[in-house]
Amino acid sequence: IQYPSLVNMDDPAKAAAIDELIKKNALSVLDAYQIQDSRDALDISCQVLSADRSRITLLYQGTLTPDGSAHPQNLFYSNTIDVSNASDIGFSHYADPYTMAGYVLSDDCTFYQADEELKPELMKEKGKTSLDDYTKMFNGADFPFTGDFPRSFSYEHQGVIYFSIPMPHALGDYAIVMFAPDAK
Protein backbone atom coordinates (compact mmCIF):
# COMPACT_ATOMS: atom_id res chain seq x y z
CA ILE A 1 0.00 0.00 0.00
CA GLN A 2 1.44 3.32 -1.06
CA TYR A 3 0.85 6.41 1.06
CA PRO A 4 2.64 9.77 1.29
CA SER A 5 4.47 11.53 4.09
CA LEU A 6 4.63 15.28 4.71
CA VAL A 7 7.80 17.25 4.14
CA ASN A 8 8.77 20.88 4.82
CA MET A 9 5.98 21.59 7.29
CA ASP A 10 6.71 24.35 9.84
CA ASP A 11 5.23 22.43 12.77
CA PRO A 12 6.98 19.03 13.16
CA ALA A 13 4.49 17.81 15.79
CA LYS A 14 1.55 18.54 13.51
CA ALA A 15 3.36 16.93 10.56
CA ALA A 16 3.92 13.79 12.66
CA ALA A 17 0.23 13.72 13.68
CA ILE A 18 -0.89 14.10 10.05
CA ASP A 19 1.58 11.44 8.88
CA GLU A 20 0.25 9.04 11.53
CA LEU A 21 -3.35 9.77 10.45
CA ILE A 22 -2.46 9.17 6.79
CA LYS A 23 -0.72 5.89 7.63
CA LYS A 24 -3.56 4.66 9.89
CA ASN A 25 -6.22 5.39 7.27
CA ALA A 26 -4.19 4.02 4.35
CA LEU A 27 -3.54 0.74 6.16
CA SER A 28 -7.05 0.37 7.62
CA VAL A 29 -7.99 -1.65 4.54
CA LEU A 30 -5.82 -4.50 5.88
CA ASP A 31 -8.09 -5.05 8.88
CA ALA A 32 -11.27 -4.20 6.99
CA TYR A 33 -10.71 -6.99 4.48
CA GLN A 34 -8.86 -9.28 6.93
CA ILE A 35 -5.90 -9.44 4.55
CA GLN A 36 -3.26 -12.07 5.24
CA ASP A 37 0.14 -11.10 3.79
CA SER A 38 1.13 -14.70 3.26
CA ARG A 39 -1.98 -15.65 1.26
CA ASP A 40 -3.66 -12.60 -0.23
CA ALA A 41 -2.36 -10.24 -2.93
CA LEU A 42 -3.01 -6.54 -2.37
CA ASP A 43 -1.79 -3.71 -4.59
CA ILE A 44 -2.94 -0.19 -3.66
CA SER A 45 -1.49 2.98 -5.16
CA CYS A 46 -2.02 6.47 -3.80
CA GLN A 47 -2.58 9.66 -5.75
CA VAL A 48 -2.11 12.98 -3.96
CA LEU A 49 -4.96 14.82 -5.63
CA SER A 50 -4.27 18.07 -3.83
CA ALA A 51 -2.17 19.35 -0.96
CA ASP A 52 -2.03 22.86 0.40
CA ARG A 53 -1.82 24.59 3.77
CA SER A 54 -5.45 23.84 4.61
CA ARG A 55 -6.29 20.45 3.08
CA ILE A 56 -4.75 17.24 1.74
CA THR A 57 -6.79 14.92 -0.50
CA LEU A 58 -5.55 11.40 -1.17
CA LEU A 59 -7.09 8.80 -3.48
CA TYR A 60 -6.33 5.09 -3.07
CA GLN A 61 -7.04 2.62 -5.87
CA GLY A 62 -5.98 -0.91 -6.48
CA THR A 63 -6.86 -4.57 -6.32
CA LEU A 64 -7.24 -7.30 -3.75
CA THR A 65 -6.96 -10.93 -4.76
CA PRO A 66 -7.87 -13.10 -1.78
CA ASP A 67 -6.27 -16.52 -1.58
CA GLY A 68 -8.08 -18.90 -3.92
CA SER A 69 -9.99 -16.15 -5.73
CA ALA A 70 -10.19 -16.36 -9.51
CA HIS A 71 -10.47 -12.59 -10.05
CA PRO A 72 -9.16 -9.54 -8.20
CA GLN A 73 -11.57 -7.16 -6.46
CA ASN A 74 -11.21 -3.48 -7.35
CA LEU A 75 -10.81 -1.20 -4.33
CA PHE A 76 -11.22 2.55 -3.95
CA TYR A 77 -11.04 4.75 -0.91
CA SER A 78 -10.13 8.36 -0.27
CA ASN A 79 -8.95 10.49 2.60
CA THR A 80 -9.27 14.24 3.00
CA ILE A 81 -7.41 15.80 5.91
CA ASP A 82 -7.89 19.19 7.54
CA VAL A 83 -4.26 20.28 7.98
CA SER A 84 -4.90 22.87 10.71
CA ASN A 85 -6.65 20.32 12.96
CA ALA A 86 -4.82 17.15 11.77
CA SER A 87 -8.27 15.56 11.38
CA ASP A 88 -10.34 13.79 8.75
CA ILE A 89 -12.94 15.58 6.65
CA GLY A 90 -15.94 13.47 5.67
CA PHE A 91 -18.88 13.39 3.28
CA SER A 92 -21.17 15.69 5.30
CA HIS A 93 -18.54 18.44 5.04
CA TYR A 94 -19.18 18.62 1.26
CA ALA A 95 -22.82 17.71 0.89
CA ASP A 96 -25.98 16.59 2.62
CA PRO A 97 -26.14 12.76 2.55
CA TYR A 98 -29.92 12.69 1.99
CA THR A 99 -29.69 15.15 -0.92
CA MET A 100 -26.86 13.17 -2.52
CA ALA A 101 -28.84 9.94 -2.09
CA GLY A 102 -31.66 11.56 -4.07
CA TYR A 103 -29.16 12.72 -6.70
CA VAL A 104 -27.77 9.19 -7.13
CA LEU A 105 -31.27 7.85 -7.71
CA SER A 106 -32.15 10.61 -10.18
CA ASP A 107 -31.73 10.50 -13.95
CA ASP A 108 -29.25 13.40 -13.57
CA CYS A 109 -26.70 11.18 -11.81
CA THR A 110 -23.32 11.41 -13.55
CA PHE A 111 -20.65 8.73 -13.31
CA TYR A 112 -17.06 9.95 -13.39
CA GLN A 113 -14.78 8.32 -15.98
CA ALA A 114 -17.20 5.44 -16.56
CA ASP A 115 -16.96 3.50 -19.79
CA GLU A 116 -19.79 4.58 -22.14
CA GLU A 117 -20.87 0.97 -22.65
CA LEU A 118 -21.06 0.47 -18.89
CA LYS A 119 -23.09 3.59 -18.03
CA PRO A 120 -26.54 2.09 -18.81
CA GLU A 121 -25.77 -0.89 -16.55
CA LEU A 122 -24.52 1.42 -13.78
CA MET A 123 -27.70 3.51 -14.08
CA LYS A 124 -29.82 0.37 -13.74
CA GLU A 125 -27.83 -1.02 -10.84
CA LYS A 126 -27.83 2.19 -8.77
CA GLY A 127 -31.63 2.06 -8.69
CA LYS A 128 -31.56 -1.23 -6.78
CA THR A 129 -30.55 0.57 -3.57
CA SER A 130 -33.13 2.62 -1.67
CA LEU A 131 -32.96 6.31 -0.74
CA ASP A 132 -32.70 5.32 2.93
CA ASP A 133 -29.87 2.87 2.27
CA TYR A 134 -27.88 5.43 0.26
CA THR A 135 -28.49 8.04 2.98
CA LYS A 136 -27.20 5.65 5.66
CA MET A 137 -24.24 4.75 3.46
CA PHE A 138 -23.30 8.40 2.95
CA ASN A 139 -23.79 9.21 6.65
CA GLY A 140 -21.22 6.48 7.39
CA ALA A 141 -18.86 7.40 4.56
CA ASP A 142 -15.20 8.30 4.88
CA PHE A 143 -12.70 8.46 7.71
CA PRO A 144 -12.93 8.39 10.66
CA PHE A 145 -15.27 5.45 10.90
CA THR A 146 -16.58 3.25 13.64
CA GLY A 147 -17.58 -0.33 13.05
CA ASP A 148 -17.47 -1.56 9.47
CA PHE A 149 -15.21 -0.12 6.79
CA PRO A 150 -17.21 2.52 4.86
CA ARG A 151 -18.97 1.41 1.69
CA SER A 152 -18.60 4.92 0.24
CA PHE A 153 -15.76 7.44 0.15
CA SER A 154 -15.88 11.05 -1.00
CA TYR A 155 -13.72 14.00 -1.87
CA GLU A 156 -14.07 17.47 -3.36
CA HIS A 157 -11.87 18.78 -6.15
CA GLN A 158 -12.16 22.20 -7.79
CA GLY A 159 -15.72 22.64 -6.53
CA VAL A 160 -16.95 19.24 -7.76
CA ILE A 161 -17.97 16.53 -5.29
CA TYR A 162 -17.00 12.93 -6.06
CA PHE A 163 -18.12 9.87 -4.13
CA SER A 164 -18.07 6.13 -4.59
CA ILE A 165 -20.98 3.73 -4.51
CA PRO A 166 -20.66 -0.05 -4.44
CA MET A 167 -21.37 -2.03 -7.58
CA PRO A 168 -21.38 -5.76 -8.36
CA HIS A 169 -18.02 -7.25 -9.34
CA ALA A 170 -19.16 -7.60 -12.99
CA LEU A 171 -19.56 -3.79 -13.08
CA GLY A 172 -16.17 -3.05 -11.53
CA ASP A 173 -16.97 -3.32 -7.78
CA TYR A 174 -17.55 0.44 -7.43
CA ALA A 175 -18.50 3.52 -9.42
CA ILE A 176 -17.58 7.15 -8.81
CA VAL A 177 -20.48 9.61 -8.88
CA MET A 178 -19.73 13.22 -9.79
CA PHE A 179 -21.84 16.14 -8.54
CA ALA A 180 -21.11 19.67 -9.73
CA PRO A 181 -23.20 22.01 -7.52
CA ASP A 182 -22.87 24.91 -9.99
CA ALA A 183 -24.40 22.82 -12.77
CA LYS A 184 -27.53 21.91 -10.76
The C-alpha torsion from 15 through 16 and 19 to 23, rounded to 10°, is -170
Q: DSSP for 79-146?
A: EEEETTTTEEE-HHHHS-HHHHHHHHHSTT-EETT--TTTHHHHHHHHTTS-HHHHHHHHHT-SSS--
Rounded Cα distance between 69 and 71, Å, is 6
Full pLDDT tens readout for the chain, 184 residues? 999 998 888 899 999 999 999 999 999 999 999 998 889 999 999 999 999 999 999 999 999 998 888 899 999 999 999 999 999 999 999 899 999 999 999 999 999 999 999 999 999 999 999 999 999 999 999 999 888 999 999 999 999 999 999 999 999 999 999 999 875 5
Rounded Cα distance between 12 and 86, Å, is 12
Widest Cα–Cα separation across the chain: 50
Backbone angles phi, psi at 12, to 5 degrees: -60, -35
Rounded Cα distance between 154 and 32, Å, is 18
Q: How far is CA 134 from the centre of its chain?
A: 15
Tell if the pTM clears 0.75, that is, is over it. Answer: yes
Q: What is the DSSP letter of 167?
A: -
